[in-house]
Amino acid sequence: MAESAAVTGIGKRGAGIAVAMLALGLTSLAAGQAAPQIAPRLTGELVVTQLDAAQRDLAARAAESPGSSLAATSQKLADLGQGLRKALGKDLAKPIDTLGNDEKAQAYRAEAVVQRAQAFLEASKGCLGQDVIAMANALARTVALKATASGGSKLPPVVNGVETLDRRPLFVLHGNGAPAAFALTGENLLDTQCASPVVSATDAQGKPQAVQPEVTGVLPNRIELKLPASPLSPGSYVLNVVAQRKVFLLGCTAQPPTSAVLEVAPAPKVSVSYSLTQTCPAPGGGQGHALPAITGIMPDGAGRGTVTKYVAVDGCADPLSYAISATVTFGDGHSSTVGPISQIASAGITAGLPGGLSLSWDPSVHQLVVRPAASSCKGVY
């Protein structure tokens, strides 16, 4: 009897464990249902929501960037959202791919604007004011072109981004005349049954340029380009893309053109001056005394790469501490100072500087280093 009771007890416990495991499995399943792994199909309603969010974010960034075109671009996104609502009407909640050709193309162009705006918001963090203005100009021109584009297609070609070959967002080329390689990203850019798309460059007024990009590789969602060395004047440059698609009984036919914009701008001028103070032990003990500050200017190139400078500090053999301050002066004449920052003599000093730079002092080798910080400007090359 005792043995039977024990078996019964084990059976009850096993049943309880099974119920608990089943409940755990159902809970996990419910959690999985709450966090789907597949993104919902793109609808006009979703694009409008994204436009509204990007519009608000650009308006907030405009307040931080006086003199830029961001406020006007923010309003343009609001207008695009209203236009898309009106164009789609009762079809706003339908998947974009089920719409008519013209409505589908309009929705995809609006989605391309969203992606470019989001890329700008992320890439422009930590940028100098001059670079923000240039990036904002590229975005403004992109939005203007997408807003005025027309023409529909069953599979509308659309460029929604420009990036470097290692997939970093690209808005501005500094006009140093060096050759450049980059890529256009998007949808329906190649029908493998047809010839490769044709890419041509014009200025903002539509004038063809003497130097044209060369297509070096192409996929349906990516076109890689090489731009030969050329001293391009500052301004907006439009990359016009004409793709082809195979149509039954008609062969390969040209699709409605799509475009992207790059801005060419001179590299911002930045100079960094420093003041380094050494504190030595006081004769006979005490808190020590600070020697006269050593001042100087870092080599040219700050803001475009890493620059270093050896500083001769020989006031005493066994210093107590170092203190350093730095002033960043920009091309438009305004400047900003950080410091003084003090540390014991054996410890290094690292400080963030305006304009996405950082300053480091290494006391072991008496060297100052100014480099682009981890949060420095992206989207400009």
d(CA 293, CA 376): 29
On whether the CB atoms of residues 359 and 350 are closer than 8 A, the answer is yes
**In the prediction, which pLDDT does 13 show?**
43
Query: Angle, to 10 degrees, between the axis of helix 101-123 and the axis of helix 44-64?
Result: 30
Q: For residue 114, report the phi and psi dihedrals to the nearest 5 degrees.
A: -60, -45
Q: Does the pLDDT at position 33 exceed 60?
A: no
- Which of 5-19, 181-195, 298-312, 347-361 has the lowest average pLDDT? 5-19
Q: Does the pLDDT at position 319 exceed 60?
A: yes
pLDDT in tens, 73-110: 999 999 999 999 999 999 999 999 999 999 999 999 99
Rounded to two decimals, what is the model's pTM?
0.75
Q: What does the pLDDT average to over 336-354?
A: 85
**In the prediction, which pLDDT does 307 show?**
86
**In the prediction, which pLDDT does 179 show?**
83
The domain ranges of the chain are 44-265, 270-372
Q: Is 109 exposed, middle or buried (0-12, 13-18, 19+ CB in 10 A)?
A: buried
**In the prediction, which pLDDT does 17 show?**
43
**In the prediction, which pLDDT does 349 show?**
87
d(CA 96, CA 88): 10
Cis peptide bond upstream of 340, omega within 30: yes
Q: What does the pLDDT average to over 58-64?
A: 91
d(CA 275, CA 288): 19
Q: What does the pLDDT average to over 175-193?
A: 89
**In the prediction, which pLDDT does 26 show?**
44
pLDDT in tens, 232-269: 788 899 999 999 999 888 889 999 999 999 999 887 77
d(CA 159, CA 147): 13
pLDDT in tens, 147-165: 999 888 889 999 999 999 9
On whether the CB atoms of residues 284 and 301 are closer than 8 A, the answer is no
Q: What would the 3-class secondary structure string for the chain be?
A: CHHHHHHHHHHHHHHHHHHHHHHHHHHHHHHHHHCCCCCCCCEHHHHHHHHHHHHHHHHHHHHHCCCCCHHHHHHHHHHHHHHHHHHHHHHCCCEHHHCCHHHHHHHHHHHHHHHHHHHHHHHCCCCCHHHHHHHHHHHHHHHHHHHHCCCCCCCCCEEEEEEECCCCECCEEECCCCCEEEEEEEECCCCCCCCCCEEEEEECCCCECCCCCEEEEEECCEEEEEECCCCCCCEEEEEEEECEEEECCCEEEECCCEEEEEEEECCCCEEEEEEEEEEECCCCCCCCEECCCEEEECCCCECCECEEEECCCCCCCCCCEEEEEEEEEECCCCEEEEEEEEEECCCCEEEEECCCEEEEEECCCCEEEEEECCCCCCCEC
Q: Which CATH superfamily is domain 44-265 in?
A: Immunoglobulins (2.60.40.10)
**In the prediction, which pLDDT does 8 show?**
42
Q: Which residue has the higher pLDDT, 58 or 19?
A: 58
- Opening angle at CA 228, ends 222 and 229, nearest 5: 135
State CA 137 to chain mean position distance.
Answer: 15
Residue identified by tokens 């009407």 is 89
